[in-house]
Amino acid sequence: MESPFKPEILKGKVALLTGGASGIGFEISTQFGKHGASIAVMGRRKTVVDSAVSSLQSLGIPAVGFAGDVRKQEDAKRVIESTVKHFGKLDILVNSAAGNFLVSPEDLSPNGFKTVMDIDSVGTFTMCHEAINYLKKGGPGRSSDDSGGIILNISATLHYTATWYQIHVAAAKAAVDAITRNLALEWGTDYDIRVNGIAPGPIGDTAGVRKLGPAEIKSGTREIMPLFKLGEKWDIAVAAVYLASDAGKFVNGTTLVVDGGQWLSGPRHMPKEEVKMLSRVVEKRARVAPTGVPSSKL
């Protein structure tokens, strides 16, 4: 799809993306690169990282990749330092690495719960913590006159209500949202760093929908999907371009929900025609209410 943004909107920026070699993360890497940014991707599987870098470079995007695990502070530090050494600075950090699987709470081991928390929430904080000295105003590669850098945390909508078989991820993403808000407050004030999040809904052609999505979502049932369709990775990526660019320069501490309104919805408990019939009955009673009795009291 054609981007609504100018191709140079991220020109001169350097972005590091965890989980940036596959799925939504790779699409964000691609769109950032198409809009002028130089890209560093980080992932646990070197073969996947190398393939992603080759694909980005084939599009004319300056790209480099590093194998690393966000759960390991030494990996976070090494990859961030290597990115700055390669490109001279760091402007944008995108925390997209995540882990997920379906499991009932009683069947989820504490170690399984901890693993997802470590990847999603602890890993997000670890990357932010190691990147702060490079993102803050006056950090390496940026002058004291420059604004601070940008952090984008990829979240979810699972914890806004509750989601079957997803207690571990819901807890982890709730923590990610809290990290986003707190860093936006403190680092926005102290270092002029903007911190925002994106909460994707069901996105077609992703492992999440293939492995985790119920049949109603895969088929686009209007009962639980108001726009009657799955989103695309492009939808998340252009939202990220907006938040990472000057177009979003006054947005800080927000987690942008990009799900077509799906998180707001649920199965209807009553058919629409039945609702209409009941409404007519209520209206008829209101019209024949005794004088002086408000219809609201009926």
**φ/ψ of residue 94, rounded to 5:** -115, 120
Contact at 8 Å (CB) between 107 and 133?
Answer: no
Q: What is the pLDDT of residue 249?
A: 96
Determine how many CB atoms are found less than 10 A away from the CB of residue 1: 7
DSSP-based three-state secondary structure for 255: strand
Q: What is the pLDDT of residue 295?
A: 46
Residue showing tokens 């790209």 = 63
Residue-level pLDDT, tens digit, the chain, 298 residues? 889 999 999 999 999 999 999 999 999 999 999 999 999 999 999 999 999 999 999 999 999 999 999 999 999 999 999 999 999 999 999 999 998 888 899 999 999 999 999 999 999 999 999 999 999 988 888 777 778 999 999 999 999 999 888 999 999 999 999 999 999 999 999 999 999 999 998 887 766 555 555 554 545 555 555 555 678 899 999 999 999 999 999 999 999 999 888 778 665 555 767 767 766 766 676 666 555 545 444 4
Say how far apart CA 208 and CA 167 lie, in whole Å: 15
* pLDDT tens digits, one per residue of 155-170: 999 999 998 889 999 9
Type of residue found at 238 = V
* pLDDT tens digits, one per residue of 4-24: 999 999 999 999 999 999 999
Say how far apart CA 185 and CA 217 lie, in whole Å: 35
pTM of the predicted structure, to 2 decimals: 0.85
Distances (CA, A) of 178 to 53, 117, 175, 223, 249: 32, 13, 5, 30, 21
Say how far apart CA 229 and CA 218 lie, in whole Å: 9
Q: What is the pLDDT of residue 164?
A: 86
Average pLDDT, the chain: 87
